[in-house]
Structure 1
Amino acid sequence: MNDKIVQFIQNTFATKKFIPLHEPRFIGNEKKYLNDCIDSTFVSSVGAYVDRFEKEFALHVGSKYAIATVNGTAALHVSLVLMGVGKDDEVITQPLTFIATCNAITYCGATPIFVDVDRDTMGLSPDALHLFLNKNAEVKGNQCINKTTGKIIKACVPMHTFGHPCRIDEIKAICDEWHIALVEDAAESLGSYYKGQHTGTFGKVGAFSFNGNKIITSGGGGVVVTDDETLAKKAKHITTTAKVPHKWEFVHDEIGYNYRLPNLNAALLVAQLEQLDGFLENKRALAKLYEEFFQDSNISYVKEPKNSKSNYWLNAILLENKEQRDMFLEYTNSNGVMSRPIWTLMNKLEMFKACQCGDLSESLWLEERVVNIPSSVRV
């Protein structure tokens, strides 16, 4: 079967050469806007393209404000800071995620708590979240207290895995009930909707990424979205080293970060955003081809969950077990078709082994079976 899969992917991408997992497509106004940016001499964190991108991105996802950052991890970090996450706080997230989610939590001096995912979404499970909180937490005043550690559970960070929305409305309702701030890790889900609403816009803040392998990219880049004007102003201030505006004086009124997106990167993103609808259409057509190919095999193709419209950023399949998974990875990567397993669970990494966990049965099941296959926009 593995040889048939390789042949199908080669035919689908019309090449016998190496096929990467997800490569960028610069087929629009990227060079034009970059040249314009260079000619303007505004290539750093101030410039017309930064302003333009922030406005156009906010319109695209349906938020009032967007604050561009140097990468998605910075966007997550700032989002957590905006929610008041600090030293000795705890933040609930999923173990099945990219390391950036947990890195951002630790940058704040906080500690992750790992709660299981749903098998169909691969994102944080509201059922598992509800069970964990009822067993381990209590509300005192307006704070959620972990009865095991005595620490405040300040925030919850669900992640929309591979662009497939989790049951984010249910998660939000639980967070509201328990006085926990919801911070959406929407890094992978630009162009994905849950019940008609764009991912990243359900909580007070959401974070997106434009890394080189994302659906649109500037080589790096990220953005924080919010409907709260106060939070938006705070985000822009602290990502610009918390410098108080003045013609010549250098006054900084709090700890800030050098996290603003350069105008050069923003020029790329403006051009990429112009093409997003076409990219999404192309990727959904590829997903349909994969779904049809795998429907008569013993390999399950991961389809968009109920009530969702996914961007299908990375296509994923489910193998029968870890042994079959590893055989598949070895064969495809040895024959010029890039594939990769899902991430090692965060609670297995050395720096997070001591973190509190709920029952992680679904995460463990998925870790042994999920593989990503080539997902680039076809040209």
Structure 2
Amino acid sequence: MPANFESAIAHIKSLYPDEEFIPLHEPKFIGREKEYVADAIESTFVSSVGAYVNKFEGMMADLTGAKFAVATVNGTAALHMALLVAGVKQGEEIISQALTFVATANAISYIGAIPVFVDVDMDTLGMSAEKLQDFLSSHCELRNGFTYNKVSGRRVAACVPMHSFGFPCKIDEIAAICAEWNIALVEDAAESLGSYYKGKHTGVFGQLGTFSFNGNKTITCGGGGAIVTDDEDLAKLARHLTTQAKVPHAWEFNHDMIGYNYRMPNLNAAMACAQLEQLPRFVENKRELAGLYRDFFSSVGIAFQTETADAQANYWLNVLLMQDRGERDAFLEVTNKSGVMTRPAWTLMHKLPMFRDAQHDGLQNSLWIEDRLVNIPSSVRIA
């Protein structure tokens, strides 16, 4: 085993001394989770209507600075709904990134839209504004105020950048480009709760932003998601669609659109509220961990990914960049065999059979990152 691998394993174990096996990211329940969940049970409102759903939506709006928040059953459902209320139609195109979790591309497919993938920046691991502009300038044109792909002939209806591993991408530049081309901007902020770019929380730079509260996220309620927006009409539509598009009435069941059973249950919202109360403490703790990792890995010659000057990242999952795929695979093998959970980046979307025919821009940086990226244990270290 190379000396720097051995010392890396020893260092990670020293940061989690009470763990026989060190997971990649485990939840911490150190607040009022049990109290709030018990209260929700006592209220008998355990499904998609209840005081904690309303409280959670208010807390999310306050945290992000958005005017409105809509609680959903998970982050994928949030993104699906956000794209739907943004006006994307079946057969239209959505520009996203290939370096992302499959849920991003799946949500695009739920509408019957077609994903197009552009490259990421090396310093953010998120969508490159420069590559987005290059793609639009080279392959698209404005017709009657809308953007069309000259290759496929389809309208480009939306853009979905993702803040990879909690590192904010250059979202203000992306927003400006989308405005220039009249493309709806929907942020996939699933991994970036508690992350800020130029003083603004992620998720609020476009028409809509979406978040996830899956079990491996910075805070969790088992599942759960949220949509945030400043547009009251979009928020009302999202809330309507996620509750089966039921027309409000004391006893009648009338529905005026195709709806979805996508609202967050009150039980999950109760846990989410308690977790949100701990978010500042969790993010502070995770940023402290990132600093310890940064100092150590710089001393042993392994590249550690850090936030850009304009960003304040939550460091959801800490990122190493190895020399090449061979070194990456060797590190993955020895760490996991030693009881330290590590994992590579997701398989790039255009390599999956469902999206193999998707148009892309070559994805040079994404391919380089895929060969080298390793996520290392990033759990909050609070007993």
Give the AA of the match of 1:114.
Answer: F
Report the equivalent of 2:54: 51
What whole-Å deviation, never above 9, does each CA across 1:5-64 have from its counterpart, x for those lacking one? 111111111135000000000010000001111111100000000000100110011000
What whole-Å deviation, never above 9, does each CA across 1:338-374 have from its counterpart, x for those lacking one? 0000111000000100010112100000000010000
Deviation at 1:142, TM superposition (A): 1.8
Cα distance in 1 for partners of 2:191, 2:263 equals 20
The structure 1 segments of at least 4 consecutive aligned residues displaced by more than 6 Å after TM superposition are none
Q: Pick from 261, 267, 275: which aligns with 1:258?
A: 261
Q: TM-score, normalised by structure 1?
A: 0.99
Cα distance in 2 for partners of 1:39, 1:3 equals 51
What whole-Å deviation, never above 9, does each CA across 1:213-242 have from its counterpart, x for those lacking one? 000100100000000111111010000000
Deviation at 1:247, TM superposition (A): 1.2
Report the equivalent of 1:165: 168
Q: Pick from 209, 214, 218: which aligns with 2:217?
A: 214
Report the equivalent of 2:70: 67
Distance change (3 Å), C-alpha of 1:43 and 1:16: closer
Cα distance in 1 for partners of 2:300, 2:13 equals 18
- Alignment partner of 2:299: what SS? coil
Structure 1 residue 31 corresponds to structure 2 residue 34: yes
List aligned pairs for 1:144-155, cutoff 5 A.
144-155=147-158
- Alignment partner of 1:112: what SS? strand
Report the equivalent of 1:92: 95
Cα distance in 2 for partners of 1:305, 1:297 equals 22
Structure 1 residue 177 corresponds to structure 2 residue 180: yes
List aligned pairs for 1:249-328, cutoff 5 A.
249-328=252-331
Cα distance in 1 for partners of 2:59, 2:86 equals 25
List aligned pairs for 1:72-87, cutoff 5 A.
72-87=75-90
Q: Pick from 217, 225, 228: which aligns with 2:228?
A: 225
Q: Pick from 370, 373, 380: which aligns with 1:367?
A: 370
Distance change (3 Å), C-alpha of 1:79 and 1:16: closer
- Alignment partner of 1:275: what SS? helix
What whole-Å deviation, never above 9, does each CA across 1:290-324 have from its counterpart, x for those lacking one? 00101122210000122000000000110000000
**What is the aligned-residue identity percentage?**
60
Cα distance in 1 for partners of 2:6, 2:361 equals 39
Distance change (3 Å), C-alpha of 1:116 and 1:176: same
Q: Pick from 336, 343, 368: which aligns with 1:340?
A: 343
**How large is the Cα RMSD of the aligned pairs?**
0.6
Cα distance in 1 for partners of 2:53, 2:89 equals 29
Deviation at 1:86, TM superposition (A): 1.5
Q: TM-score, normalised by structure 2?
A: 0.98
Cα distance in 2 for partners of 1:4, 1:186 equals 34
Cα distance in 2 for partners of 1:155, 1:203 equals 10
- Alignment partner of 2:71: what SS? strand
Give the AA of the match of 1:161.
Answer: S
Cα distance in 2 for partners of 1:290, 1:16 equals 18
Report the equivalent of 2:129: 126
Structure 1 residue 377 corresponds to structure 2 residue 366: no
What whole-Å deviation, never above 9, does each CA across 1:160-189 have from its counterpart, x for those lacking one? 000000000000110011111000000000
Give the AA of the match of 1:36.
Answer: D
Deviation at 1:122, TM superposition (A): 0.5
Structure 1 residue 330 corresponds to structure 2 residue 333: yes
Report the equivalent of 1:137: 140
- Alignment partner of 2:186: what SS? strand
> For structure 2, which runs of at least 5 residues remain unmatched after alignment?
none
Cα distance in 1 for partners of 2:370, 2:309 equals 22
